[in-house]
Chains A and B, each alone.
Chain A
């Protein structure tokens, strides 16, 4: 390795240039700098399969007590015990063993028929058309619905949610969504998670929620008791947060990767028994969560370099998954390759508890898509990719099914929000805004109150029965940013980044390890 080349090795999770294709850099890291240090953001990164495997298995040396995302570790984030993805033993062990009794493969497999029916409902009306969107029409809703099924939210109570879903599915790719209408439906869908818990308490069934309510739990102090409502709510949030966006991304990568490998897609159509192997290869090749992080608990040495206690270590799962010393032609997508486990669901005590469900959703989605559409081609002009601190994948992946019309003129991009009535006049920011975050367990409403002091803004945001002050409110052009440290259902920092158009702000609310969720704020 020559040092000039080495100097140009640079990787960080925020580098947008690397998002479309991070793999050449991963290869260089594996080969030239198996232990990488990033000065600017002060973290270490490992990229070889064997190193990542060893790290994830050594739970004493590599801690999750401050979470598994770089920003959280740097912030020394602390979460309630029941946010078990964010804990070490013995706290982790107490909740994990409880959850292992509850989220069982048996229970996950029991929802297969319902998931298949959902796929059919989502895809049938697209047959005969020209296009569909792997995310909008399939990936965006299926994972959330799958978790709802697991929780046992009855079909009839899902109606409002489904109406909102169906309304969106009926929207053709490239056409604006009627946001106002959608919000109204979503508010309705907010029949309330709390209400659901109470209802389930009186109407026990054999679902996950009933079990969370009834089970005897040995807490980290060794006391046998029932779970509190807060614990149940945190656990459900962890499960939904870990299971939604990741599985959504898997479905997007399915659309993209099979489009680029039509020969292998044909093999699968001819022999659907290849689907489970194809899903594993997809998970290896494009892991929805490309990296994980841990805190280093002792001074150590790796590849001849010292790493101090307290450092943040990033495990580049997406790099390890293509390590040539483990996977021949690692950068090649090959569903026929020798089957060896990948790292996409993690390893060790925190290994993904929902992996059977994710695999099942992937398999059923692939089966149902290929049954209807044996061929497609991605419309890259319209596809949108994004990457956060925890997932990488497609926000929108429209594809041509059947024939792409000659002289096709792409429709105008979807408007982010209904056109303002008086576009010239800037809306005054001070006052009351109705905020709706489309969170993992459904839309979460909140009220934001802003006060102006000269050029700066302060205020408070009320939601889930509590009100907390907001911070760092900024307006740059029509870009809006603020931070809300919420305390319910758990202590977490939520960053709102959006764009103001008329009297509506649309954008993403980033809730730490829970991921990013779309939000809208409408001036009341």
Chain B
């Protein structure tokens, strides 16, 4: 049957992938973030970047990132079979890579989403706070060799590159990713939701309802990357950030003349316009029926799979959380409603960050005794001496000028 040959092809490709074990060296010379960058993504400076390098057959390399930003580069023809490339992506932001060979020929081009595997984790989501060299990537050049059920030039499963990771590089295995909502390793932009052979980002009518996507009232994700336009730093994936891009939703209107919601900066009345909202939701329902019409078949097979292999879906393990119970922090967080996150007030009321433990303890004692500030007096009475000491000691660890942690 046809399916068998496809599986075989898939297997061949798989062997290829397995044989590919690249150890990558951190390119210290190229490093532009310096050392000591934090691994917490809540503190990342969005403007710093890291570089991903490697060797490919002549190829377009694209990166789709969780903040909606988009980056691309072409490899450089050095007259060998292995062309070097170098692509800057934002530090500390999860990104997915896609590589396209024969990129200038719409008939023979091959679009290959990339997965990485390292120490037991396999995922297409990569997060850099250091530079990464991925070595040679053996991309397919011959369109007839790929498995592409719906003939949209996108391979049906990603190519996996095994890496041993330098520090500052993480491969993230997640159960849900906005950039790849169905979790198959093919980013949303290269899905073909209506199975018409044109992947979503090229498909002007991605639900085949006869209405151009630009004219659909519920078109909230112009570039189909999964990040709604108002959250998308580059909502037409042209490589220009919206703030620098004066024409970013392809409707021919400059942003300042355009009433539709296509900007990074939200319009004031979005949330209040509830009547319109309802209409939008109905439209989404409609679109949905389209998507589900091919879902039945998958469900059936999916059930079979579960029967044959009851373990696979049940044994998802969770990674440990990097969470330390720090004495006083939870209690101190209960002061933040009035004194700001981590003790950084944004109003005339006192900041607690930057005060010494003794100052806070002394103030709380005075508050309890006096009635100068009756609300604070009432609050102070709610905490025991031990609790006050614990929260004061925690505030004392907070510097007065760092605003986020």
Q: Is the A/B pair a real complex?
A: no
